[in-house]
Chain A
Amino acid sequence: MHNLSVNLNGLILKNPITVASGTYGFGREYADYMDLNQLGAISVKGITLEPREGNGGIRIVETPMGMLNSVGLQNPGVHAFIKNEIPFLRQFDLKIIANINGNTIEEYCEMAEILSGEDVDSIELNISCPNVKNGGVAFGTDPNVVKEVVRRVRKSTTKHLIVKLSPNVTDIKPIAKIAEDEGADCISLINTVSGMGIDIHKRKMILERGVGGLSGPAIKPIAIKLVHDVYKTVKIPILGMGGIISGEDAIEFMLAGATAVAIGTGNFTDPKLPEKVLKGMYQYLETYKFENAHALVGNI
């Protein structure tokens, strides 16, 4: 049997397959379709200090091999997450990554402090959501803010810390470097690509906020390139994602430099996709005689 376990700088996953924040709810939504024990980790739906109702209007536009979403972090709040969702997820053999979001740096820090005392395995700092007015991508695209928010959140928690980066920048390398320098344990990328759709019959934006986040296979080449850019820039491990719908896609991310991968929009296409990707990964290791998954990382 191959050794599929990977180490994300202290966060050890039994296999490299995780599910991306915002695409898997809190796990329970898929528990009737997938054995959650097959997952290395789940990054839960993005949570905030207070419950949020999210954005109004149409929230999805399907595109060729992708989708634009504008959900806007609808979630039950960090306290409901702690009370209802952590105990549920603890029934399964998988790592829990809490994806946190805030309007201000102070809110990110407060969330990190609250979660420090809770049973989560990692905190994913989401400074790349394109669907909110404050925080999100506005933070993640400004190197000075990235520096400040990562530094202060790092001081707020001793938990394993992942910083999730946006692809919506001219050069991702200096931003990844800042995250590493300020104490991130791991970098996850990419969040969705900013996009827009117009209803030509109504001559109006389809999404209420105009802009949404593009995900799915349409963005995979962008994600592969950015993962590779970051891989060449930092020493900390990468959790790679963006359009994975097969074992081959996951392998490609690992060869580009990701130590683990996340399946996002692909879960919507096939609720059993994570186990299929895992199977595909086994077959690849078998075919090319790799003894462990780690040997794939950046192996090009």
Chain B
Amino acid sequence: MKFSDQVKIIDKQTIQEDVFTITFDHVPEMGLVKPGQFFNVACDTTLLRRPISVCEVTPTSIVLAIKVIGKGTAFLSKLRVGDQMEIMGPLGNGFDLVEDSKVLVVGGGIGVAPLKALFEAIKPKNISTDVIIGFRDQPYLLEAFQSSADRCTVVSETDAGYLKGYVSEPLRAHLEETQYDMVYVCGPLPMLKAVAHICNEKKVNAQLLMEEKMACGVGACLVCTCKIKEGDFGFKHKRMCVEGPMFYASEVIFDA
């Protein structure tokens, strides 16, 4: 049996007005938890659970970083240390972790949360790890990247004292300068699409951590599918919760 039960919240931190972290015990029944995997979290205010990626994984604890988007995440934001939270997981395939490589990590908004878990797992094992992260406004969850990335570029859409613009501009520049073996990406859909396009054009391997509204989280309901190339012209609808949420940029077909 896989883990589906209540966990006790052992820490909660407010990161920004609408961004917070929740920490719970990493119990043995959860098994190995990979960066890019997620837990499906029950919310009292909604019928369906909310899929939340892991932001930090240690042998003893797991941290989720959550941005308040709607009713479900608003409910989670009101939970306190000591409260119980009903979760199932870990779910999904997670990132394929590379070693001895030159790696670039590209994130946007709350998409930096799973990249933090990824970064901590791959940083010690690779030749170099560069980071580009973008935010609409004020950045968050920067510390780990800034303190140990070989190069960390932060952009913001507003005048927040960082490079102004989108991640796509520094991405192009980085790809011109460095031959990366792998690019890891997570962020809003338009960003994923833009980054996938650039990486495919430059023929650089990229893993995209995709996002879609989900229901069951275990591959039964088929509401979270995305189009994945099959053969030269065909496609298959694959489930983000099982075959994903990580897909390679070269295999994803983005609808217009």
Number of B residues whose C-beta is below 8 Å from A?
A: 29
Among A74, A216, A271, point to the contact of B88 (Cβ < 8 A).
A271
Chain B, residue nearest A69 (CB): B223
Contact of A67 with B47 at beta-carbon distance under 8 Å, contacts A32-B2, A74-B225, A272-B4 already known:
yes
Report the minimum CB–CB distance from B34 to chain A (whole Å).
Answer: 17
Contact of A53 with B237 at beta-carbon distance under 8 Å, contacts A33-B4, A269-B42 already known:
yes
**Residue A142, interface by CB 8 Å:** no
Among B1, B47, B220, point to the contact of A65 (Cβ < 8 A).
B47
Among B49, B220, B225, B255, point to the contact of A24 (Cβ < 8 A).
B220
What B residues does A217 contact at CB under 8 A?
47
Determine if B47 and A71 form an interchain contact, defined as CB atoms under 8 angstroms apart.
no
User: Roughly how many angstroms separate A32 CA and B30 CA in the complex, as a whole number?
Assistant: 12
Report the minimum CB–CB distance from B156 to chain A (whole Å).
Answer: 23
What A residues does B221 contact at CB under 8 A?
22-23, 25, 69, 71, 268
Determine if A54 and B237 form an interchain contact, defined as CB atoms under 8 angstroms apart.
yes
Chain A 12-51 residues near chain B, CB threshold 8 A: 22-25, 29-30, 32-33, 45
Determine if B220 and A29 form an interchain contact, defined as CB atoms under 8 angstroms apart.
yes
**SS of B interface (majority):** loop
User: Roughly how many angstroms separate A262 CA and B152 CA in the complex, as a whole number?
Assistant: 53
Contact of A216 with B1 at beta-carbon distance under 8 Å, contacts A29-B218, A74-B225, A269-B42 already known:
no
User: Roughly how many angstroms separate A69 CA and B47 CA in the complex, as a whole number?
Assistant: 14
Report the minimum CB–CB distance from A199 to chain B (whole Å).
Answer: 13
What A residues does B4 contact at CB under 8 A?
33, 271-272
**Residue B46, interface by CB 8 Å:** yes
What B residues does A71 contact at CB under 8 A?
221-223
Among B48, B86, B220, point to the contact of A25 (Cβ < 8 A).
B220
Determine if B222 and A59 form an interchain contact, defined as CB atoms under 8 angstroms apart.
yes
User: Roughly how many angstroms separate A59 CA and B46 CA in the complex, as a whole number?
Assistant: 18
User: Roughly how many angstroms separate A234 CA and B116 CA in the complex, as a whole number?
Assistant: 60
What A residues does B48 contact at CB under 8 A?
62, 67, 268-269
Number of A residues whose C-beta is below 8 Å from B?
A: 32
User: Roughly how many angstroms separate A268 CA and B86 CA in the complex, as a whole number?
Assistant: 13
What B residues does A10 contact at CB under 8 A?
none
Determine if B1 and A62 form an interchain contact, defined as CB atoms under 8 angstroms apart.
no
**Residue A265, interface by CB 8 Å:** yes
Determine if B49 and A33 form an interchain contact, defined as CB atoms under 8 angstroms apart.
no
Residue-wise interface mask of B (231-247) relative to A, using a CB-CB cutoff of 8 A (1 in contact, 0 not): 00001110000100000
Report the minimum CB–CB distance from A167 to chain B (whole Å).
Answer: 19
Determine if B220 and A269 form an interchain contact, defined as CB atoms under 8 angstroms apart.
no
Report the minimum CB–CB distance from B32 to chain A (whole Å).
Answer: 15
**Residue A66, interface by CB 8 Å:** yes
What B residues does A54 contact at CB under 8 A?
222, 225, 237
What B residues does A45 contact at CB under 8 A?
220, 222
Report the minimum CB–CB distance from A238 to chain B (whole Å).
Answer: 24
User: Roughly how many angstroms separate A179 CA and B86 CA in the complex, as a whole number?
Assistant: 43
B214, B218, B221, B225 pick with most chain A CB within 10 angstroms: B221
**Residue B216, interface by CB 8 Å:** yes
Chain B 26-85 residues near chain A, CB threshold 8 A: 42, 46-49
| Known A71-B222, A268-B221; further 4 A-B contacts with Cβ < 8 A | A32-B1, A69-B223, A71-B223, A271-B218
Would you mind naming 21 contact pairs between A and B with Cβ atoms under 8 Å apart? A23-B220, A24-B220, A25-B218, A25-B221, A29-B216, A29-B242, A54-B222, A54-B225, A60-B214, A60-B223, A60-B224, A62-B213, A67-B47, A69-B221, A71-B223, A74-B222, A216-B47, A217-B47, A268-B215, A268-B216, A268-B221
Report, nearest first, the 8 A-B pairs whose CB atoms are least far apart. Answer: A25-B220, A60-B223, A29-B220, A32-B2, A268-B215, A59-B223, A29-B219, A268-B216
**Chain A residues at the B interface, C-beta cutoff of 8 Å:** 22-25, 29-30, 32-33, 45, 53-54, 56-60, 62, 65-67, 69, 71, 74, 216-217, 265, 267-272
